[in-house]
Amino acid sequence: MQNNSFESIQHTLLKNNLQLTLRPARPEDAEQLLVFVEQIAGESENITFGPGEFGMTVEEERAFLQQVATIPTSLYLVAEVAGEIAGTLTFSTGKRSRIRHAGEFGVSVLRKYWNLGIGRHLLTYLISWARQTRIIRKINLRVRVDNLAAIHLYEKAGFVQEGRISREFYLHDQFIDVYHMGLEIDPLPET
């Protein structure tokens, strides 16, 4: 039998037995999220910005979070461990009817929490949230071709490589290609 219920706040145990909470971000998370973003920017070269480059004020971030909460095809998901933001996943689609069914996401986890399953739990949440919107039919992403951990994670979740785009990243005087990957979504049936 199909389980059609979707819980927006989810609790689960990580591989190290710490409790993970997944929940939509709230406007009052703005300050902590900017601290998280700055930390990630210094920890990984697999995202599109470096330290000091994110460029949002707390007020702008708060307004952004408020706006996301009003859009049924947008998600700003937070992964919390012991009250700390350990990871995030953001997803949005186009606005117009011809492109509202397809969107792209980005995901990041603090380095100290890598390989505990947080990325997998964030992706699983995204996919079941997308299904229950009954609007979203395609999830896309871009990933550096040398980001093997992320590619492994996405393939395990069912994403397939759909193409390779050259020169998407530029750092340390070098261009780096990305793969476009995608997952087709079947909506949850009406109960």
Ligand X SMILES: CC(C)(COP(=O)(O)OP(=O)(O)OC[C@H]1O[C@@H](n2cnc3c(N)ncnc32)[C@H](O)[C@@H]1OP(=O)(O)O)[C@@H](O)C(=O)NCCC(=O)NCCS
126 binds ligand X (CB under 6 A): no
Q: Which is nearer to ligand X, 57 or 165 (CB)?
A: 165
Contact range with ligand X by CB under 6 A, out of 51-59, 64-72, 149-157, 183-191: 149-157
Tell which one of 115, 158, 163, 184 touches ligand X (CB under 6 A): 115
Question: Which x/- pattern over 40-69 shows residues binding ligand X (rule: CB under 6 A)?
Answer: ----x-xx----------------------
* Sheet of 160-171, strands arranged across: 10-13, 19-24, 75-81, 84-93, 102-109, 138-144, 174-184, 160-171
Q: Which residues of 90-120 are buried (b: 16+ CB within 10 A; e: fewer)?
A: bbebeeeeeebbbbbbebbbbeebeebbbbe
CB–CB of 139/132 below 8 Å? no
Q: Which position among 119, 130, 159, 169 is part of the footprint of ligand X (CB under 6 A)?
A: 119
Q: Which of 189, 146, 136 is nearest to 171 (CA)?
A: 146
Given candidates 33, 109, 130, 136, which one binds ligand X under the rule CB under 6 A?
109
Nearer Cβ to ligand X (65/86): 86
Strands 102-109, 138-144: pairing kind: parallel
Q: Which stretch binds ligand X (CB under 6 A): 55-63, 95-103, 141-149, 169-177?
A: 141-149
In the stretch 14-33, what mask flags binding to ligand X with x, by CB under 6 A?
Answer: --------------------
C-alpha distances in Å from residue 64, one per residue of 29, 58, 59, 162: 11, 10, 9, 30
- Closer to ligand X at the Cβ: 62 or 123? 123
**Binding status of residue 12 toward ligand X by CB under 6 A:** no
Q: Does 148 bind ligand X (CB under 6 A)?
A: yes
